[in-house]
Amino acid sequence: MQANRAETGTETAIELSVVVPIYNEEESVGPLVQRIRDAMANFGRPWELILVDDGSTDATLLNARKALSDSSLRLKIVELQRNFGQTAAMQAGIDTAVGRLIATLDGDLQNDPKDIPAMVAAIEERELDLLVGWRKNRQDGLLLRKIPSWCANYLIGKITGVKLHDYGCSLKVYQASIIKQVKLMGEMHRFIPAWVAGVVPSSRIGEMPVTHHARQHGTSKYGISRTFRVILDLLSVLFFMRYKARPGHFFGSIGLAAGGISALILFYLFIEKFIFGNDIGGRPLLIVGVMLFLSSVQLITTGILAEMMARLYSGENDTPPYIVRKVFDTDGTGA
């Protein structure tokens, strides 16, 4: 039996929090808890399991509650008021977790909990802030799951600069102090490595092959339509990674480019009109030049307003433009 409390009755420091978002997994949740308990039987350190019920409409929550009677398991069940999506459920679990490390995995039995102890050992040995599972032998359909995933992984790696084989694997292990600095919104769970790369160097993000099983119960919550959402989310990630602190550069760059093209077009039409005496009133190029000029003014103005809002927000939250990991003293100790 895993001891999660000291003999005195006081709480011991939790080394690992295992967070699992679940939604309509009534047949899977019972075996899931059993598999996690078996996988962590020889972990040797205090750990907890956090199940986040994302507004399930079947017996998922009822079946999960049956495990509360097991005194050998430190279990928390977070019941969300309605279905908010996997990202919000994962954030709720991370906010609830008290472990020094946090592991996340799906609740459909496709991720294997037996990989968690090895990943914990690896993240500590390699001194990483995030270790991502790589479903090297993925047991999913080729057309609807694998091919869109391959394309998304390539695009995400190319744009964000964080090179991983498998962004979409939910089996990950984090340093809690790092992942709690990242707020997940929308459907951003698949971009967690990119968000983490916004607060730590990408060299502190690693991956390792993990086991992947075919779905045994229920149906997948994803389809080909998620590809379009991935593209939109990827644009958001790109903006926040590069321009969160300087949005004026984003809008201003586009505005200056539009203004430069507009200037060339209007200068050309000026020569046509006043040097060669040609009529330009009916030319579509004149409309294009004027519209580009107006767009340029609007984009530059938007950039200035965005800069003002970013500076006001930063000032109100008193957030410094840096994050200190550790301070070393002359005696060789770190704080």
Q: How far apart are alpha carbons 160 and 158 in whole angstroms?
A: 6
Q: How far apart are alpha carbons 135 and 168 in whole angstroms?
A: 9
Out of 40-49, 102-111, 208-217, 253-262, least confident range: 208-217
Give the chain's mean pLDDT: 84
Out of 79-88, 144-153, 312-321, least confident range: 312-321
The SS3 of residue 135 is coil
Closest to 18 (Cα-Cα) out of 87, 79, 100: 100
pLDDT above 90 as % of the chain: 50
Q: Is 223 exposed, middle or buried (0-12, 13-18, 19+ CB in 10 A)?
A: exposed
> Mind listing the pLDDT tens digit for each residue in 197-241?
888 998 999 999 999 887 666 555 555 556 666 677 777 777 777
Strand order in the sheet with 16-22: 75-79, 47-53, 16-22, 101-104, 172-175, 130-134, 205-209
pLDDT band at 309 (very low <50, low <70, confident <90, very high): confident
pLDDT value of position 195 = 85
pLDDT value of position 6 = 40
Examine the pLDDT at 147 and tell me if it is beyond 90.
Answer: no
* Cα 69 from chain centroid (whole Å): 33
Out of 79-83, 126-130, 259-263, least confident range: 79-83
Q: Identify the architecture of domain 16-243 in CATH.
A: Alpha-Beta Complex (3.90)
The pTM is what?
0.74
Q: How far apart are alpha carbons 67 and 62 in whole angstroms?
A: 10
Is-contact 224 140, C-beta < 8 A?
A: no
Closest to 229 (Cα-Cα) out of 196, 192, 191, 198: 191
Mean of the pLDDT values across residues 11-19?
89
Residue 104: φ, ψ to 5°: -125, 145
Number of other residues whose CB lies within 10 A of the CB of residue 248: 19
Q: How far apart are alpha carbons 168 and 152 in whole angstroms?
A: 9
pLDDT above 70 as % of the chain: 81
Residue 52: φ, ψ to 5°: -110, 110
pLDDT band at 21 (very low <50, low <70, confident <90, very high): very high
Mean of the pLDDT values across residues 303-327?
67
pLDDT value of position 320 = 56
Examine the pLDDT at 319 and tell me if it is beyond 70.
Answer: no
Residue 51: φ, ψ to 5°: -100, 130
Secondary structure (DSSP) of 269-325: HHHHHHTS----TT-HHHHHHHHHHHHHHHHHHHHHHHHHHHHHHHHHHT--S----
* DSSP H stretches of helix in 82-191: 86-96, 115-125, 147-160, 176-179
pLDDT value of position 10 = 37
pLDDT value of position 221 = 53
Is-contact 245 294, C-beta < 8 A?
A: no
pLDDT value of position 131 = 97
Q: How far apart are alpha carbons 122 and 175 in whole angstroms?
A: 12
Higher pLDDT, 324 or 284: 284
> Mind listing the pLDDT tens digit for each residue in 65-112?
999 998 889 999 999 999 988 888 999 999 999 999 999 999 989 999
Higher pLDDT, 318 or 39: 39
Residue 296 in tokens = 């340029």
pLDDT band at 326 (very low <50, low <70, confident <90, very high): low
Where are any strands of DSSP class E within 23-59?
47-53
Q: How far apart are alpha carbons 143 and 148 in whole angstroms?
A: 7
pLDDT band at 316 (very low <50, low <70, confident <90, very high): low
pLDDT value of position 80 = 92
